[in-house]
């Protein structure tokens, strides 16, 4: 709220853990003193708080509850809280589903009377928000404040939230339709402040939502740098109070002062009266307050209003936990309130300072309301009921008339003392007279009520601490479920009231409002919240609507076409989900791990799946969505908005919550690079003539691939093939020597020496084996050629050679066609040397040279 002052617990709950616990547990029947004591005794540990609270409650309930009842109560309470959480989840799921529904084209049903307020469509369990919005819209200064905001076009979530609130208010004010769809505001609020829409609990949905909604407005103003407007907003809805904590410590009176800020005020329905409940919120007695010295003492907290806001919102808490019934219940007791409120009386505890004149008017107003309630329904309904009764006594000639009793006495001939039956025409005359007298009485009482309210309005003009009732929130239902609607005062005549029940808006008078709020019509339907405004607030100057805002309304038709397209796109959800699942079920065809690597680098999906599951899920979902929506492009109103529809689908389905575009690009680049390298891997025609070039290819490719994290598996396979090729190189040395091809023998020897001496990839044992093989070959060359110098040409590097070879960056190509060549290479061409390699690595020793040469000699001529 733009202040560092502590927020008053009795008025408006903060988001701190303790305040949340205080709100939740006090509303299901636990005392505030019990909650505070449990919070202190558990050491401010939320995990053990519940058990500690149960222990404290157990002591106080010991006289009326046995141990088994207490245990069952604990279980029942936990189950009840779980049910509340499950209800929250259902609400969240329902709202999420409804958010996926398009905002339909403008309603064809028009407002017949332009003075009638516009209703709001219920999107599914959103009646509490509709009631809140109607109540806020009816606050003219706040409406003016919102509509005159000059928003920047920065596309931020905060700006969009404020913009959608502006547009909704503008449509509520200017629309020709009987009701409008608030979906865009709901969507903007959900994106800007996701927690605002899903409120813990059931009965307290309205109060929590209103606090959260106001916090969202304040936060949005702050983020959009509306500092002055933010201050103005806070003055509307938040007041200042002083909290006085007093207790004794070591026989010394300790008094501490704390400035607090308050917003909506929670009143217990059990107080049965607004003023009494308001006074009760200002005093909190703590039997075991823990001082700074860790001592327990009795303490009292008094809270006095210093500066009241322009608007005061009261929440009537009707939910409590009944330990006998072992369930959450709703208190349907009648709650009294007046059409005006004097805040002066709440600035001190002294009741005698209350405005006596206003108090007298309040009492007279209450008396008349009670009398009107005794007459039943509205004047029109009373007259209609009388007409029905009169109709019963219209007789045809010759019929026998019966004695008629109305309100406990008989209609009879006034000239006789006995209740003689009179003729039908005389009886009808008496009924008509009785009806006329009753209607005159009702009209007289109604006129008196209006005069009293007019006198109270005049009093309001002379005192800024006088407030007028402008909104009544209603709840119809039980503790765990129900329906919200509201009554709002017409600011044009300050007499007419409007019942705003989602999309339906009807005209009523205050007597009907009070009757409904008291539960006379339905026991479970009663007042749940009250809004009072300062009298000076009831009228405002003409609202200057931003032209840009008006132009946005004109663009609504275009948006509706897009909304239709969005619905078509969203309807593809089940098909897309099925396609995604089919892609996930795809398996690699090859069993061999080396073959699988070639398959993996031929299929980007498989590659990504093996590298990064999160990025793979992102890519799989994104690509499937893109491909599917492109299929229906020609069916859309605006196919040029295809990218928007893809983003809309992703947002609405929540299939993608994190953007992995950067990671995806990096993985794609790696994939293409490795694919290009593997395309250039020599897999056939390895001879002693091309061996030197092939071994350089393998080393170059291996060195490039081993630096990539995603290629650890194929790197290990290539390292093995590289080692195997080194062993086969020794065979080519011997083969060239046996065929008297001395130059090739020396060339391959030098290539091998360069490979094993100038890179770190070669395994130590393989290095030793190759060098041992070459040493034996050099001795044989010396014997065959009779040239001693040839020995050094085979086992010593004559000149520094090139390890690497230049590779190209090739376009992507599937490697699956190369897999048969890879299999032939390992199962045929290199089979013997793979066996040698595995034996060296397994036994961790060099090969016996006689065995090696005996095995290889068979291949000299094969």
Q: How far is CA 671 from CA 10, 587, 616, 622, 665, in A?
A: 62, 19, 13, 18, 10
Q: What is the pLDDT of residue 428?
A: 67
Q: pTM value?
A: 0.48
Region 400-420: what's the mean pLDDT? 44
Q: How confident is the model at residue 281 (pLDDT cuts 50, 70, 90)?
A: confident
Return the structure tokens found at 559.
Answer: 């948006």
Residue 111: what pLDDT? 57
Q: Which is more confident, 794 or 64?
A: 794
Top-confidence range, 218-232, 316-330, 794-808: 218-232
- Reported as a single tens digit per residue, the pLDDT across 209-239 is 888 888 999 999 999 999 999 999 998 888 8
Q: Reply yes or no on whether the pLDDT at 365 is more than 80.
A: yes
Helix axes 127-137, 140-147, angle to 10 degrees: 90
pLDDT in tens, 509-536: 998 899 888 877 778 888 999 999 987 7
pLDDT at 247: 87
Q: Which of 233, 309, 299, 230 is nearest to 265 (CA)?
A: 309
**Average pLDDT value for residue range 360-388:** 74
What is the C-alpha to C-alpha distance for residues 154 and 156, in angstroms, rounded to an integer? Answer: 6
Q: What pLDDT does residue 463 have?
A: 53
Q: What's the confidence (pLDDT) of residue 14?
A: 33
| The pLDDT of residue 399 is above 70 | no
Task: Specify the pairing of strand 311-317 against strand 265-268.
Answer: parallel
Range with lowest mean pLDDT among 188-192, 324-328, 569-573: 324-328
Average pLDDT estimate for 428-436 = 72
Dist. CA 804–CA 128, nearest whole Å? 73
Confidence of residue 134 (pLDDT cuts 50, 70, 90): very high
If you ran DSSP here, which 8-state letter would residue 312 be given?
E
The pLDDT tens digits for 152-203 are 877 899 999 999 999 999 989 888 778 889 998 988 998 898 876 554 334 4
The chain-wide mean pLDDT, for the chain, equals 79
How confident is the model at residue 418, as a pLDDT?
A: 43
pLDDT-derived band at 408 (thresholds 50, 70, 90) equals very low
Report residue 397's pLDDT band, with 50, 70 and 90 as the boundaries. Answer: very low
Q: Which of 188-202, 450-464, 612-626 is predicted most confidently? A: 612-626
On whether the CB atoms of residues 39 and 49 are closer than 8 A, the answer is: yes
**Mean pLDDT over residues 439-444, rounded?**
82
* Better-scored residue on pLDDT, 101 or 87: 87
Q: Which residues pair with 259 in a beta bridge?
A: 242
125-139, 378-392, 629-643, 772-786 — which is least confidently predicted? 378-392
Cβ atoms of 487 and 470 within 8 Å: the answer is no
Residue 183, number of CB atoms within 10 A of its CB? 20
**How far is the C-alpha of 412 from the C-alpha of 427, rounded, in Å?**
8
User: What is the tens place of the pLDDT at every residue in 608-617?
Assistant: 888 888 999 9
Task: Please state, for a pLDDT cut of 90, what percent of the chain lies above it.
Answer: 28
User: Do residues 180 and 168 touch, judged by C-beta distance below 8 A?
Assistant: yes
Query: Buried b vs exposed e over 433-459: b needs ≥16 C-beta within 10 Å?
Result: ebbeebeeebeebbebbeebbebbbeb
Tell me the H-state helices in 175-310.
183-192, 205-223, 227-237, 274-281
Average of per-residue pLDDT across 286-304: 83
Among 373, 263, 251, 272, which residue's Cα sits nearest to residue 318? 272
Is the pLDDT at 440 greater than 60, yes or no?
Answer: yes
More confident residue, 540 or 739: 739
Q: How confident is the model at residue 409 (pLDDT cuts 50, 70, 90)?
A: very low
810 Ramachandran zone, left/alpha/beta (phi>0; psi -120 to 50):
beta
Mean pLDDT of 491-495: 88
- CA atoms of 771 and 119, how far apart (whole Å): 91
> In whole angstroms, what separates CA 172 from the centre of its chain?
26
pLDDT at 19 (0 to 100): 65
Alpha-carbon distance of 136 to 138, in angstroms, equals 5
Q: Give mean pLDDT, residues 793-811.
A: 86
Residue 90 has pLDDT above 50, yes or no: no
Lowest mean pLDDT among 281-290, 356-365, 416-425, 844-853: 416-425
Mean per-residue pLDDT for 256-276?
Answer: 86
Which three-class secondary structure state does DSSP give residue 304? strand
DSSP E strands in 460-564: the ranges are 466-477, 482-489, 497-501, 504-508, 525-534
Are 105 and 181 a contacting pair, CB within 8 Å? no
pLDDT the model gives residue 547: 78
For residue 273, give the DSSP letter: B
Q: How confident is the model at residue 842 (pLDDT cuts 50, 70, 90)?
A: very high
β-bridge mates for residue 110, sequence order:
177
Q: Label residue 488 exposed, middle or buried (CB < 10 Å: 0-12, 13-18, 19+).
A: buried
pLDDT tens for 647-666 read: 999 999 999 989 999 999 99
> What is the per-residue pLDDT for 432?
74
Contacts 24+ apart (CB under 8 A), 272-279: 272/333, 272/334, 272/335, 272/336, 273/335, 273/336, 273/337, 274/314, 274/335, 274/336, 274/337, 274/338, 274/341, 274/530, 275/341, 275/345, 277/314, 277/316, 278/314, 278/346, 279/346, 279/349, 279/351
Cα separation, 637 vs 635, whole angstroms: 7
pLDDT higher than 50, residue 104: no
pLDDT at position 530, please?
A: 93
Contacts of 409 (CB under 8 A, 6+ apart): none
Q: Which of 19-33, 245-259, 550-564 has the highest mean pLDDT?
A: 245-259
* Mean pLDDT across 807-826: 90
């Amino acid at each position: 709220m733009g202040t560092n002052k502590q927020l008053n617990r009795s008025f408006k709950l903060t988001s701190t853990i303790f305040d949340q616990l205080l709100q939740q547990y006090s509303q299901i029947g636990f005392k505030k003193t019990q909650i505070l004591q449990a919070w202190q005794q558990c050491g401010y540990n939320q995990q053990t708080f519940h058990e500690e609270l149960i222990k404290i409650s157990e002591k106080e309930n010991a006289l009326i509850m046995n141990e088994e009842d207490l245990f069952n109560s604990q279980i029942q309470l936990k189950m009840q809280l779980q049910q509340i959480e499950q209800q929250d989840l259902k609400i969240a799921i329902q709202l999420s589903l409804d958010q996926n529904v398009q905002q339909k084209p403008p309603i064809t049903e028009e407002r017949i009377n332009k003075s009638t307020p516009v209703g709001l469509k219920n999107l599914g369990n959103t009646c509490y928000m509709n009631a809140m919005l109607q109540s806020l819209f009816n606050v003219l200064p706040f409406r003016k404040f919102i509509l005159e905001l000059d928003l920047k076009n920065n596309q931020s979530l905060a700006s969009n939230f404020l913009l959608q609130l502006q547009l909704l208010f503008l449509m509520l004010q200017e629309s020709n339709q009987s009701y409008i769809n608030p979906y865009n505001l709901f969507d903007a609020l959900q994106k800007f402040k996701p927690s605002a829409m899903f409120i813990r609990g059931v009965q307290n949905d309205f109060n929590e939502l209103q606090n959260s909604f106001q916090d969202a407005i304040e936060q949005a103003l702050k983020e959009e740098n509306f500092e002055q407007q933010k201050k103005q907003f806070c003055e509307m809805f938040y007041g200042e109070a002083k909290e006085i904590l007093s207790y004794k410590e070591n026989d010394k009176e300790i008094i501490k002062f704390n400035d607090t800020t308050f917003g909506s005020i929670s009143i217990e329905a059990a107080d049965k009266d607004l003023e009494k409940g308001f006074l009760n919120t200002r005093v909190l007695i703590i039997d075991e307050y823990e001082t700074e010295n860790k001592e327990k003492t009795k303490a009292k907290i008094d809270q006095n209003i210093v500066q009241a806001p322009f608007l005061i919102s009261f929440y009537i808490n009707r939910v409590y936990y009944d330990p006998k019934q072992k369930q959450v219940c709703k208190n349907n007791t009648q709650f009294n309130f007046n059409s005006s409120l004097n805040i002066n009386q709440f600035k001190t505890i002294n009741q005698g300072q209350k405005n006596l004149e206003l108090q007298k008017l309040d009492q007279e107003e209450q008396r008349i309301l009670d009398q009107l309630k005794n007459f039943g329904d509205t004047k029109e309904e009373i007259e209609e009921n009388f007409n029905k009764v009169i109709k019963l006594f219209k007789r045809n000639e010759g019929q026998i008339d019966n004695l008629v009793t109305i309100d406990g006495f008989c209609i009879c001939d006034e000239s006789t003392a006995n209740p003689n039956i009179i003729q039908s025409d005389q009886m009808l005359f008496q009924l008509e007279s009785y009806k006329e007298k009753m209607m005159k009485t009702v009209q007289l009482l109604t006129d008196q009520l209006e005069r009293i309210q007019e006198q109270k309005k005049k009093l309001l003009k002379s005192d800024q601490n006088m407030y007028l009732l402008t909104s009544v929130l209603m709840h119809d239902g039980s503790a765990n479920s129900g329906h919200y609607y509201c009554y709002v005062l017409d600011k044009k005549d300050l007499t007419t009231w409007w019942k705003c029940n989602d999309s339906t808006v009807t005209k009523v008078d205050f007597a009907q409002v009070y009757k409904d709020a008291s539960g006379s019509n339905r026991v479970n339907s009663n007042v749940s919240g009250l809004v009072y405004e300062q009298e000076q607030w009831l009228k405002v100057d003409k609202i200057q609507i931003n032209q840009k805002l008006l132009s946005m309304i004109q663009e609504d038709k275009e948006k509706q076409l897009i909304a239709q397209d969005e619905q078509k796109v969203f309807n593809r959800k089940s098909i897309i989900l099925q396609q995604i699942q089919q892609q996930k079920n795809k398996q690699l065809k090859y069993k061999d791990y080396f073959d699988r690597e070639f398959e993996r680098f031929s299929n980007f999906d498989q590659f990504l799946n093996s590298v990064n599951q999160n990025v793979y899920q992102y890519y799989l979902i994104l690509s499937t969505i893109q491909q599917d929506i492109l299929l229906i492009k020609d069916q859309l109103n605006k196919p040029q908005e295809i990218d928007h529809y893809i983003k809309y689908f992703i947002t609405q389905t929540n299939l993608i919550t994190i953007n992995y575009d950067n990671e995806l690009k990096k993985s794609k680049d790696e994939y293409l690079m490795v694919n290009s390298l593997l395309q250039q891997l020599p897999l056939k025609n390895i001879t002693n003539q091309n061996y030197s070039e092939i071994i350089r290819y393998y080393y170059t490719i291996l060195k490039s691939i081993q630096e990539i994290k995603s290629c650890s598996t194929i790197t290990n396979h290539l390292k093995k093939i590289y080692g195997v090729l080194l062993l086969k190189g020794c065979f080519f040395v011997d083969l060239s020597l046996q065929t008297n091809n001395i130059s090739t023998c020396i060339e391959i020897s030098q290539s091998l020496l360069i490979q094993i001496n100038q890179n770190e990839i070669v395994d130590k044992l393989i290095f030793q084996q190759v060098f041992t093989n070459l040493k034996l070959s050099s001795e044989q060359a010396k014997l065959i050629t009779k040239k001693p110098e040839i020995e050094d040409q085979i086992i010593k590097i004559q000149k520094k050679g090139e390890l690497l070879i230049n590779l190209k960056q090739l376009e992507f190509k599937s490697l699956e066609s190369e897999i048969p060549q890879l299999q032939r290479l390992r199962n045929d061409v290199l089979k013997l040397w793979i066996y040698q390699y595995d034996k060296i690595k397994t036994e961790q020793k060099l090969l016996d040279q006689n065995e090696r040469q005996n095995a290889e000699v068979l291949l000299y001529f094969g």
